[in-house]
Amino acid sequence: MKFALKNTLLAIVSAVFFAFPLMAFAADSAAPAAANVFVSGVLTRFDAYTVNGNNYFKLRDIAYALSGSAKQFEVTYDAAAGAVLLKSGAPYTAVGGEMSEGFGEPLELSPADVNVRLDGVSVTLRAYNIQGYNYFKLRDVGKLLDFGVNWNAAAKSVTITPDKGYVEENTIFYMKSFGVYSTVSDWPESAELSQNDKYYYLKNDRVHGDNTSCILVESGRHRYAGDDYPAFREAMYRRLLKQAANDPDVGFLFGDGTATARGYTMYIFTVEYDGVERTDRMYYIVGDYKYVLITETDYHDKNAADISAAARVIADSFEWAR
């Protein structure tokens, strides 16, 4: 259905929620992980498996290995809710059986339907059940709890660094006056376009022109403190609504609320255009009296089809300057 502002059929949703469904991916079998794993530089033996090129670990093993570190977390099970509960920053309570040896051979697996909550919020974690145990993708857990996970291809080793934050694979790190963030390597910053504290990112450093998909990162100030973030959201919503009213090509405006991987409040507004293949998506990361805006301008170019994923890497890796 087409939504036209002039017919007052503009659809706007500005509900804030933090619910993320479980994602599971099919695979045939799991092979025992061959890579050495180092935790804070110490070789550590895990019962881990490799599935489709990614390493999967037990949550309790990870929690056991990180207990006492800056990124320690507790793992408990709520039988009534049927949920695995993670509590960030809490020391892990051992239940026995942690860091046990694996089965040592390729095994059949099945997607695991696990309800996981971090600090009371439902979260997305890829999981498989192997011989009655649930295994989770290490990088997903690292991203969720913000600890470093690095792969050394030459040494065929995995390094877990609890004193560092999570960084996506194949990323470029940027430090700006307002904060730091990373981009995936094939979305580098355009030196030609970036100026006056506005930073543009183009797929594979393409030449910018009409209908070129791009990502813009900039910062700004607002008048709202912590408890007033919803007021900021409403102010942005009204501003975008006013802009949409003056643009006959706007067909659909959608608003949503969530949080970044670092836990910052983030409001996302999506604008779809009629008559042109274009979608604008604005990610507002909100701080006290300040914000960072990541604008994704997507012309539905098949060569830049990963633009939303690239924009989310920037959003999820962002940290305010201290």
Map 198-215 to HEC letters. EEEECHHHCCCCCCCCEE
Based on the domain organization, do 134 and 180 belong to the same domain? Answer: no
| Pairing, β 133-137 against β 127-130 | antiparallel
Q: Which of 126, 161, 196 is the last residue of a domain?
A: 161
Residue that has been written with the tokens 């995936």 in this structure = 184
Neighbour-count burial for 45-71, b at 16+ CB within 10 Å, e otherwise: ebbbbbbeebbbbbbbbbbbbbbebeb
pLDDT band at residue 45 using 50, 70 and 90 as cut-offs: very high
In a domain, 4, yes or no: no
Q: What is the pLDDT of residues 276-312, one digit of tens each?
A: 889 999 999 999 999 999 999 999 988 899 999 999 9
pLDDT in tens, 142-179: 999 999 998 877 788 899 999 988 887 778 888 899 99
Question: Residue 28: its pLDDT value, please?
Answer: 56
Q: Is residue 209 part of a domain?
A: yes
Question: Do 112 and 176 belong to one domain?
Answer: no
Distance CA 255, CA 237 (A): 8
**Span 217-270, pLDDT tens digits:** 999 999 999 889 999 999 999 999 998 888 888 888 888 889 887 889 999 999
CA–CA distance, 311 with 283 (Å, rounded to integer)? 8
What is the model's pLDDT at position 253? Answer: 86
Encoded amino acid at 139, one letter:
R
Alpha-carbon span 138 to 62, nearest angstrom: 9
DSSP output for 156-181: TEEEEETTS----SSEEEEE-SSEEE
Q: Which of 130, 161, 192 is the last residue of a domain?
A: 161
Lowest-pLDDT choice from 17-31, 164-178, 193-207: 17-31
Q: Which residues contact 302 (CB under 8 A, 6 or more apart)?
A: none
Whether 88 and 217 map to the same domain: the answer is no
Q: Which domain holds residue 47?
A: 29-161
- Report the chain's mean pLDDT, rounded to a whole number: 86
| Residue 13 within any structural domain of the chain | no
Enter the pTM of the model: 0.56
Q: Which residue has the tokens 């659909």?
A: 252
Same domain, 189 and 312: yes
Cα–Cα distance, 314 to 228 (Å, whole number)? 24
The answer to whether residues 187 and 203 touch, using CB atoms and an 8 Å cutoff, is: yes
pLDDT at residue 53 above 90?
no
Q: How far apart are CA 303 and CA 186, in angstroms?
A: 11
User: Which SS3 state, helix, strand or coil, does residue 66 take?
Assistant: helix
Q: Does residue 284 share a domain with residue 249?
A: yes
Q: Which of 131, 161, 191 is the last residue of a domain?
A: 161
pLDDT band at 100 (very low <50, low <70, confident <90, very high): very high
Largest separation between any pair of C-alpha atoms in the chain: 65
Phi (first) and psi of residue 86, to 5 degrees = -110, 135
Count of domains forming the chain: 2
Residue 71 has pLDDT above 70, yes or no: yes
149, 167, 152: which is closest to 56 by C-alpha?
149
